[in-house]
Amino acid sequence: DQQVKQNSPSLSVQEGRISILNCDYTNSMFDYFLWYKKYPAEGPTFLISISSIKDKNEDGRFTVFLNKSAKHLSLHIVPSQPGDSAVYFCAASALRNAGNMLTFGGGTRLMVKP
Amino acid sequence: ETGVTQSPTHLIKTRGQQVTLRCSSQSGHNTVSWYQQALGQGPQFIFQYYREEENGRGNFPPRFSGLQFPNYSSELNVNALELDDSALYLCASSLFSSSYNEQFFGPGTRLTVL
């Protein structure tokens, strides 16, 4: 069973516009959520995170929103730039889990067109 | 500060063989996690090592085993390789803590099983 789902495999956005990437989860034990970005031939790099006690976290052009009642989070990128083109993974963690293991979604490929 | 490194970059094996993948953690980190990323999917947690002992395991059979050395580097061993073991294997290092700490990923080892 997929505990973290990213239902959109791909998203295409014009440069300068907003990119919204969505993620749903089913496990109510998750209390920390992260977004990672992955370029080809590189490992995932951390982008932004949010604790379950918050509903929004902002870092420059990136904002993550968490709706716990809906078990939904989203990543907003404003404005989008061509360099943002990559695969984005949503990940979740339950601090009680040994090892702080991350459960990842399947990824969304973002393409930002110049 | 040295990042996470993995070797080899690519590897081709045949069914039934055994393979060893290596990971050097980022300077100052004492915890190593391994993930398997099949094509078109998100990374899946295999296990984590802290203080040279397994500290959490995902849903992987015992033929997936690991080691952590006193310098915090780590090995992932897979015995009796199967075709479905073909994937990108990612190593991530972090500093063990009771609260969540960001995991830093290496570029991965691409394993192909023929």
Chain B residues touching residue A1 (CB < 8 angstroms): none
Give tens-digit pLDDT for B32-71: 999 999 998 999 999 999 889 998 899 999 999 999 999 8
Best of B25, B34, B105 to disrupt the A interface (most A CBs within 10 Å) is B105
Contact A93 B100 (CB under 8 A): yes
Give tens-digit pLDDT for A79-102: 999 999 999 999 999 876 656 789
Tokens 């998100």 belong to residue: B42
Is the model's pLDDT at A20 over the cut of 70?
A: yes
Contact B43 A44 (CB under 8 A): yes
Any CB–CB contact under 8 A between B55 and chain A? yes
Is the model's pLDDT at B75 over the cut of 60?
A: yes
CA distance B45 to chain A (A): 7
What average pLDDT score do residues A4-17 get?
Answer: 96
pLDDT-above-70 percentage for chain A: 96
Q: Which of B105, B101, B33, B91 is nearest to A36 (CA)?
A: B105
DSSP alpha helices (H): ranges in chain A?
none
A101, A106, A107 member nearest B56 (Cβ): A101
Any CB–CB contact under 8 A between A83 and chain B? no
Helix (H), strand (E) at residue A64: strand A62-67
B42, B48, B101 member nearest A106 (Cβ): B42
Angle at CA of residue A106, ends A42 and B110, nearest 5°: 40
Q: How far is CA A91 from CA A9, A16, B5, B27, B45, in A?
A: 15, 26, 22, 24, 11
Any CB–CB contact under 8 A between B28 and chain A? no
Any CB–CB contact under 8 A between B39 and chain A? no
Q: Is the dihedral of CA B20, B106, A93, B49 positive or negative?
A: positive
